[in-house]
Amino acid sequence: MIGSLNPLVRSPMQVVNDAGVKETRYLDFKFNRVYQDKEISRVLVSVSDATDAVKLEEKVQHEREQSDLQLEMLGSILKADPQLMADFIGNTKNRNQNINEKLKEPAKVQSDFYNKLSFIFREVHGLKGDASSLGLQGFVAIAENLEHTLKDLQGKSKLVGEDFLPLTVSLEELYNLTQAIGDLSQRIAGGSNEGGRPVVSTNAEPVKNQLSKFVGEIAERNGKQVDFSCIGMDNVSLNIDTKTNLRELAIQLLRNAVVHGIETPNLRSSHHKLATGHLRIEMAEKNNSVFMSVEDDGAGIDLEKIRQKLLEKGMYSADEVADMDSKTLIQHIFLSGFSTRDQSDEDSGRGIGMDIVHERVKEMGGKLSIATRTGAYTRFTIVVPKKY
C-alpha cells in the first residue's frame, strides 16, 4: 500500500550537477517501513535516478510521432498515381531551389527584400495547392507556416536580412521532407517492381481522378454540393512544363469556383437553382494551341463586391467606382493582393489566386478571358500556344 500511495515516482527535480549547472533529473523515491517490535520505528527512503529511462522514453515517443507522419505520407503516396507523385516531387524540388536562389540573391534596398517575399510567397502558395491536391498534409503544414511568416514580414515597415531566418529554417524542413518523400516513393516503386520493369500505372485517367478528388474535398470542406465533369485533361499530349503549368492553373481555378463561385445548397435553392452546382473543366487542342476552360453555374462574379473592395482599399472614389463597367471591374480581380474573401484558410484567401493565374498565362504567352453573368455562371478560358 505504501507503494501505491507514493507520488514521488519519476519526479522531476532541479539539481545542481558537478559542473555547477542546474539541470532536471528524474528521481524515484522508494519508501520502506522498518519494524521494531511490531511497530514502525523508521521509514527507509531510497532514491534512484531514473533520468536515462525517462530521456529514452521521450526519444522513443518522438520517433513514434515522426513515424506517424511518415505513415500518413506513405498512405498518400500509395493512393496517388505514381506519375503525379513524380511530377509533384520534381516540381517541389524546383520550387525549393527557386526559393533558395531567391534568398541567395544579394539585397540592398528595401524593395529588394519585399520582392523576395512576394516571389517566395507565390512559390509557397503553388506548393500548398499541389500538396493539398495530393493529400500531403506534411507539406501543407510547412507551407501554411511559411505563408503565415511571409504575411507577417510583408506587414513590416522595414526589413532586414535577419527577418528572413525563419524562412530559411522552414525551407530546410521542406528540403528534408521532399527528400524523405522522394526516398519513400522510390522504395515503393522499387518494391512493386519485378525484374526492373518500369511501373505502369493502372490508372488510365490520373489527372481526372486527382482533380475529382480535389474538387470533392474542397466542396466538402466548404459545405458545397458539386457535380464535377472533367473532359480531355488526360488526352491532350503536352510537354511537362505546359502540363505542369496548366494543371496548377486548373487547381487555382477549380478551387475558386468551388469556394467563391458555387453557392451553398440553401442559397441555390432559394434562387430556384438546383442545390447541386455544376463545375466543368475541359481541355482541347486546336491549331497548335491548347484551350482549357473552367465553368461553374454559380453566383457569377459579384461586381458589387469588387466595387466595395476597391473603395475599401482606397483605390478609387465612390463616383469613379460607380462609373466602372463590368469589363473594367473584372480586370481588377487580377491585381495582386485583391480578394473579396475576408479570412484565409487552406482553400483560399490572401488574395493572390487570380493574379498568379493571370501572370502565369502571360508568361506562357497565352490569353485569359472571362465570361460571367451575376447569379448565373462564370467561365474562365485559357489559350496557350502548344509548343510552350
Partner 1 sequence: MKEDDLQVFLTGVQNYFTQMAGEEVFVGTPYLSENTMPAAQEYSGVIAITGRHKGIVYFTSPGDMIRRLLVLMGEPDISESNMMDLVGEVANTIAGNARKKFGERFEISVPFVIRGAPDEIMLPRQNRSFVIPLEWKMHKAAIVVSFHKD
Partner 2 sequence: MPTIMIVDDSNVIRNRITRGSENIELEVVATAGNGKDAVKLYDLLRPDLVTMDLTMPEMDGLECIQGITNINEDANILVVSALSDKATGIRALEYGARGFIYKPFSDEDLFSALKELLED
Q: Which residues bind partner 1 (CB under 8 A)?
A: 19, 21, 100, 103-107, 113, 116, 160-162, 164-169, 171-172, 175
For the segment 337-376, give every residue that binds partner 2 (CB under 8 A): none
In the complex, what is the shortest distance from the CB of residue 138 to partner 1, in angstroms, rounded to a whole number? 18
Q: Facing residues of 383 across strands?
A: 291, 367
- Secondary element (H or E) of residue 141: helix 137-154
DSSP state of 15: E
We find the least distance from the C-beta atom of residue 14 to partner 2, in angstroms, to be: 15
What's the min distance (Å) between Cβ of 49 and partner 2?
20
Least distance (Å) between residue 351 CB and partner 2:
46
Please classify residue 17 by burial: count the beta carbons closer than 10 Å to its beta carbon, then call 0-12 exposed, 13-18 middle and 19+ buried.
exposed
Handedness of CA 60, 64, 70, 74 (dihedral sign): positive
- Based on CB atoms, which residue is closest to partner 1, 104 or 327? 104
Q: Applying CB under 8 A, what is the total number of residues that bind partner 2?
A: 3
Which of 1, 21, 40, 200 lies at the binding interface for partner 2 (CB under 8 A)? Answer: 21
* Cβ-based nearer residue to partner 2, 24 or 270: 24
Check residue 167 and give left, alpha or beta (phi > 0: left; psi -120 to 50: alpha).
Answer: alpha
Among left, alpha and beta (phi > 0; psi -120 to 50; other), residue 25 is: beta
Helix/strand/coil for 325: coil
Q: How is the chain split among helix, strand and coil, in percent rounded to 5?
A: 55, 20, 30
Distance in Å, CB of 95 to partner 1, minimum? 14
Pair 386, 289: CB distance under 8 Å? yes
**Partner interacting with residue 100 (select from partner 2, partner 1, none; CB below 5-8 Å by kind):** partner 1
Residues 271, 375 contacting (CB under 8 angstroms)? yes
116 binds, among partner 1, partner 2, none (CB under 5 to 8 A by kind): partner 1
For residue 58, the one-letter residue type is: E
Confirm if 245 and 129 have CB atoms less than 8 A apart: no
Cβ closest to partner 1, residue 147 vs residue 295:
147
Q: Return the residue of 1, 5, 7, 19 that touches partner 2, per CB under 8 A.
A: 19
Please identify, among the stretches 13-21, 136-144, 161-169, 370-378, the one whose residues bind partner 2 according to the rule CB under 8 A: 13-21
Residue 197 in grid coordinates: 520493369
Instruction: Using the minimum distance from each CB to partner 1, give the nearer residue, 32 or 168.
Output: 168
Beta carbon nearer to partner 1, 127 or 333? 127
Q: Which residues pair with 46 in a beta bridge?
A: 30
Choose the contact partner of 291 out of partner 1, partner 2, none; CB within 5 to 8 A by kind: none
* Interaction between residue 200 and partner 2 (CB under 8 A): no
Q: Which residues bind partner 2 (CB under 8 A)?
A: 19-21
